[in-house]
Amino acid sequence: MLDSLLVPTAIVALAEIGDKTQLLALILAARFRKPWPIIAGIVAATLANHAAAGAVGAWVSGFFSDAVLHWILAASFTATALWTLVPDKLDDEETNTARKFGPFLTTLIAFFLAEIGDKTQIATVMLAAQYPELWLVIIGTTVGMLIANVPVVLAGNFAAEKLPLTLIRRLAASAFFVLAIVAVYKAMQSSGWV
């Protein structure tokens, strides 16, 4: 049961470092210079986005046998591992949310939109399909986002410039590859091959 919380937390925290939403957090922190409304916006947006993603993952898992689901998860984790190795760029459109909304609402909207189709959202779908405790997965992925983004919001440029992003991307990709290997093993077990 604790795996449903700790694995998503670690995976998303690693995957989020250098991600476009982390860059977005840095831009919002520099623009508004009000960390607590930005952090609250990140929490609200992430909970909403990852709850929807987790629900999709839990729903989809009911359509497949254990073996098929684990093969799908293995392929998805492998693809996400490769995607993690590619540095993200922040789209100008995601930073152009009207300033009139203030730091909380701007962060809420920008983060929610930036997370759609992002690797951490895809990871949340896959993790929810793999682990039975949906709410622990959602809490774990949200905590992972906060672990990666809160220091950036609080420290601004200092934290982002000092991190070894290439090494962190490789560690995140390695974690996704390990999950892919575990999924392959579980698929082979479910298929009766081992």
- Select from 17, 171, 7, 135 the least CA-distant residue to 73: 7
Most confident of 22-36, 130-144, 146-160: 130-144
Whether the per-residue pLDDT at 161 is higher than 80: the answer is no
Residue 194 in any domain: the answer is no
Per-residue pLDDT tens for 37-82? 999 999 999 999 999 999 999 998 889 888 998 898 889 889 888 8
CA distance 110 to 130: 28
Residue 55 in any domain: the answer is yes
Categorize the per-residue pLDDT at 98 as very low, low, confident or very high, splitting at 50, 70 and 90.
very low
CB < 8 Å & 24+ apart, contacts of 6-10: 6/140, 7/127, 7/131, 7/140, 7/179, 8/123, 8/124, 8/127, 8/131, 8/136, 8/137, 8/140, 8/141, 8/144, 9/140, 9/141, 9/143, 9/144, 9/147, 10/144, 10/175
pLDDT of residue 35: 92
Residue 51 in any domain: the answer is yes
Mean of pLDDT over the chain? 86
pLDDT of residue 26: 83
Whether the per-residue pLDDT at 142 is higher than 70: the answer is yes
Whether the per-residue pLDDT at 22 is higher than 70: the answer is yes
pLDDT of residue 56: 95
Q: How many structural domains are present in the chain?
A: 1
Q: Which SS3 state, helix, strand or coil, does residue 129 take?
A: helix
CA distance 111 to 41: 8
Domain that holds residue 123: 1-189
CA distance 74 to 173: 13
Residue 114 in any domain: the answer is yes
pLDDT of residue 23: 80
Residue 47 in any domain: the answer is yes
Q: What is the pTM of this model?
A: 0.79
pLDDT of residue 33: 81
pLDDT of residue 104: 95
